Homo-oligomer: A and B are copies of this chain.
Amino acid sequence: MKKVTINDIARAANVAKSTVSKVMNDAPTVSPDTKRRVRAIMKQMNYTPSTIATQLARQSSSTIGMLVDLSRRADFLNHFFYTIIGGIESVAGPLHYELTISNIQSSGPDNFMNRLVRGRKVDGLIMEKSILTREQVDELLQLEFPFVSIGRIADTEGVSSVDIDNALGSGMLTDHLVEQGCRKLAFLGGEPADSIFESRSTGFHRSLKAHGLEGTVSCCEGSAAEGYRLTKELLASGYAPDGIITISNYVAFGVLQALQEANFRVPGDICVATFDDYPLAPYTTPPLTCLHLDTFELGIHAASMLMERIDGSVTGVENRLLLPTLIPRASTQRQRLKE
Contacts and interface: CB of A to CB of B under 8 A. Distances in A.
A97 to B, nearest CB: 11
Given A3-B120, A85-B70, A52 B61 contact: yes
Contacts of A133: none
B48 A52 contact: no
B250 A279 contact: yes
Contacts of A68: 85
Interface in A219-242: 223-225, 228
Nearest to A80: B82
Interface string A32-70: 000000000000001011111101100001010000101
Contacts of A279: 223-224, 250
A156 interface: no
A144 B118 CA distance: 34
A120 B89 contact: no
Contact of A50 (B78, B105, B120): B120
Contacts of A228: 283
Nearest to A109: B48
A283 B3 contact: no
B103 A100 contact: no
Interface size band for A: 35 or more
Nearest to A106: B93
Given A96-B110, A280-B280, A52 B49 contact: no
B82 A78 contact: yes
A1 B96 contact: no
A90 B70 contact: yes
A46 B142 CA distance: 13
Given A51-B121, A70-B85, A144 B1 contact: yes
A96 B53 CA distance: 20
Given A143-B1, A283-B254, A52 B103 contact: no
Given A56-B56, A253-B280, 6 more contacts: A50-B120, A52-B120, A73-B83, A73-B86, A99-B102, A260-B285
- Sorted nearest first, the 8 A-B pairs with minimum C-beta distance are A48-B118, A224-B283, A51-B119, A51-B121, A100-B100, A81-B82, A70-B86, A48-B114
